[in-house]
Amino acid sequence: MPHFSLNPRLRRGSAMIEFTLAGVAATVLVISTFQLGMVMWNYHTLTMAVHEATRYVAVKGAGCTLPGNTCSVTVGTITAKIASWGIGIPAGGVNITLKTNSGAVTKCTPLNSCFTSPTVWPPSANSDNQPGSLITISAEYHVNPALLFFWPGRQAQSYGSFWLPASSSQQILF
């Protein structure tokens, strides 16, 4: 049976060892919780931005391209709106795909590459801007988790990354 001494001199260093063992686990848990919260916030922000952009474009159909109307929207305007609604998500890490009912696709890889695009969207070709036509905006955000940044080792660690997807479809209203 082990004998535990009540003499404080014989127990020196035990608090430091206990803190080290528990501290490493607690630190990893705190960083993991924070990282998961950030990823979920980014995901919800991205989906909200894509949904709002789809709603914005849905009221910019054929009626906006008629003479006298100036409400048509460009790819640059759509991407700028997504960037402004996606607060906290860097535009350089987001890829956007704009797709029409007929299958016409416009890609912005990354999002900020299309900020100055003057292309009117949805296009009038194939009647893609007519009321009732379906438009889809999809996005992907590249996430690099920070947890392995703290991994001890002699060399730089490579760690996995993943893409957060978001997509929204809407019929053009007018």
Q: What are phi and psi of 40, to 5 degrees?
A: -65, -40
Collapsing DSSP states into helix, strand and coil, what is residue 110? coil
CA–CA separation, 86 and 65 (whole Å): 28
pLDDT value at residue 37: 92
Angle 75-85/14-58 helices, nearest 10 degrees? 150
CA–CA separation, 150 and 31 (whole Å): 10
pLDDT value at residue 164: 94
pLDDT < 70 regions, the chain = 1-11, 147-160
* pTM assigned to the model: 0.82
Q: What is the largest CA-CA distance in the chain?
A: 95
